């Protein structure tokens, strides 16, 4: 039983006294206690040690009182499990020494056994659930197949993922083979996380907005829809496509329980485009957490008024930035808790 189930109620579209609040990337970025652990253990050690992953996951719940936990891990553990080497370089971010560029590279990518390759994530889920003791729900996540392809082919972060796009547009057959392998792995992975205990899952399509609406359908949405179809009867699914407001109509018909929205789309327009019924999550500009706590409070209250308090999950429009002062993140959460309808 979950004591604070506001987040699950919002996912089911039930009426709530106030909307739930959490922040994307809340578990591994801005808290001083996280930075201490970051200085002691390298990134994948933190991911692979269930005790550390659990400790980091609980920090924002205990320290700023968010209504949901998100497991500390990374979207790039999937390509790692698929036989694609991924390193995390301090100051640079993801670095893949042997990016996927040819048909042969795609052939060498495997659809792995999840227990064998990602058992450490499942252990972290179980340990976190135990320590949460039903306080708040736990969110599991994965990257969208397109967003994973972006890193697998580009080999690192990028402003436009030009090499990844070139690969898709010059060798679509190989691209689709790779996307399907990532999709199959992701479905098995998210299923295993649900069995291990997560209460909902979120698919991060961080680079979906790099594609035109037509290409989005072909190279991204089609695969996210497969993931939703496979999971929706087992757990609520949240689909977050950064820069993907143009797809909200189609997304709203997908069987997802909620859709993430970024700050380039107004709450009213997001409601309009998504048909007015589905739960929405977002969408404050993460950089707005640099504003004063008093301004943050006003912006949060406006945002809830515009989205409406029901079928709404308060969040940022993308991940929290690493140098946000803790008191500003606290103001964001407290503003939601202090919300009362006019």
CB of 340 to ligand CP3, least distance (A): 29
| Active-site option among 33, 38, 215, 290 | 38
CB of 306 to ligand CP3, least distance (A): 24
| Interatomic CA distance for residues 73 and 124, integer angstroms | 9
| Interatomic CA distance for residues 28 and 44, integer angstroms | 12
* Structural contact between residues 259 and 248, judged by C-beta atoms closer than 8 angstroms: yes
* Structural contact between residues 280 and 247, judged by C-beta atoms closer than 8 angstroms: no
| Interatomic CA distance for residues 70 and 172, integer angstroms | 34
Whether 215 is a known active-site residue: answer: no
CB of 68 to ligand CP3, least distance (A): 11
- Token look-up 């969040």 returns 315
| Active-site option among 46, 48, 151, 184 | 151
CB of 292 to ligand CP3, least distance (A): 24
Return residues touching ligand CP3 (CB under 6 A).
25-29, 38, 43, 70, 72-76, 88, 93-94, 141, 143, 157, 204, 206, 319
Q: Which is nearer to ligand CP3, 154 or 274 (CB)?
A: 154
- Token look-up 């004591």 returns 3
Alpha helices in the chain (DSSP H): 6-12, 32-40, 43-48, 50-64, 77-81, 103-107, 114-132, 145-154, 162-170, 172-196, 213-216, 222-231, 248-252, 267-273, 293-307, 326-337
Q: Which is nearer to ligand CP3, 138 or 304 (CB)?
A: 138
Local structure of 87: helix, strand or coil: strand
Whether 272 is a known active-site residue: answer: no
Sign of CA dihedral 10, 55, 203, 322: positive
CB of 305 to ligand CP3, least distance (A): 27
CB of 193 to ligand CP3, least distance (A): 13
| Active-site option among 25, 62, 101, 191 | 25
- Token look-up 């560029």 returns 101
| Interatomic CA distance for residues 260 and 258, integer angstroms | 7
In the bound complex, which residue of the shown chain has the CB atom lying closest to ligand CP3?
A: 28
Whether 25 is a known active-site residue: answer: yes
What is the distance of C-alpha 232 from the center of its chain?
Answer: 16
Q: Which is nearer to ligand CP3, 235 or 311 (CB)?
A: 235
Q: Which is nearer to ligand CP3, 206 or 254 (CB)?
A: 206
Q: Which is nearer to ligand CP3, 233 or 323 (CB)?
A: 323
Q: Which is nearer to ligand CP3, 93 or 275 (CB)?
A: 93
* Structural contact between residues 179 and 149, judged by C-beta atoms closer than 8 angstroms: yes
| Active-site option among 5, 18, 29, 46 | 29
Whether 12 is a known active-site residue: answer: no
CB of 46 to ligand CP3, least distance (A): 7
Whether 38 is a known active-site residue: answer: yes
Q: Which is nearer to ligand CP3, 259 or 271 (CB)?
A: 259
Q: Is 314 left (phi over 0), alpha (psi -120 to 50) or beta?
A: beta
| Active-site option among 18, 46, 48, 74 | 74
* Residue 25: C-alpha distances to residues 74, 186, 277 (Å): 10, 20, 26
Annotated catalytic sites, by residue?
25, 29, 38, 74, 151
């Amino acid at each position: 039983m979950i004591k604070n189930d506001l987040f699950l109620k919002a996912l089911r579209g039930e009426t709530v006294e106030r909307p739930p609040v959490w922040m994307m990337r809340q578990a591994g970025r801005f808290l001083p206690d996280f930075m201490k652990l970051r200085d002691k253990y390298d990134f994948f050690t933190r991911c692979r040690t269930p005790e550390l992953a659990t400790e980091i996951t609980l920090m924002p719940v205990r320290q700023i009182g968010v209504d949901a936990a998100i497991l500390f891990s990374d979207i790039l553990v999937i390509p790692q499990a698929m036989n694609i080497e991924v390193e995390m370089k301090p100051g640079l971010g993801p670095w893949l020494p042997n990016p996927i560029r040819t048909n042969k590279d795609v052939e060498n990518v495997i659809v792995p056994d999840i227990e064998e390759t990602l058992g450490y994530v499942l252990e972290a889920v179980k340990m976190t659930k135990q320590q949460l003791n039903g306080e708040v729900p736990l969110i599991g996540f994965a990257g969208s197949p397109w967003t994973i392809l972006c890193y697998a082919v580009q080999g690192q972060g990028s402003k436009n993922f030009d090499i990844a796009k070139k690969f898709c547009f010059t060798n679509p057959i190989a691209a689709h083979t790779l996307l399907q392998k990532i999709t199959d792995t992701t479905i098995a992975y998210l299923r295993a996380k649900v069995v291990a205990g997560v209460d909902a899952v979120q698919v991060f399509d961080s680079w979906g907005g790099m594609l035109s609406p037509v290409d989005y359908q072909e190279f991204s949405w089609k695969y996210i829809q497969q993931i939703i179809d496979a999971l929706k009867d087992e757990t609520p699914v949240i689909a977050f496509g950064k820069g993907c407001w143009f797809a909200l109509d189609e997304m709203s018909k997908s069987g997802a329980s909620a859709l993430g929205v970024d700050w380039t789309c107004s709450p009213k327009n997001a409601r309009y485009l998504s048909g007015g019924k589905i739960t929405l999550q977002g969408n404050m500009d993460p950089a707005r957490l640099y504003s004063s706590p008093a301004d943050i409070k006003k912006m949060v209250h406006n945002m809830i008024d515009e989205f409406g308090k029901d079928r709404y999950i308060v969040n940022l429009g993308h991940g929290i930035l690493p140098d946000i002062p803790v008191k500003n993140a606290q103001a964001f959460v407290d503003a939601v808790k202090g919300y009362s309808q006019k």
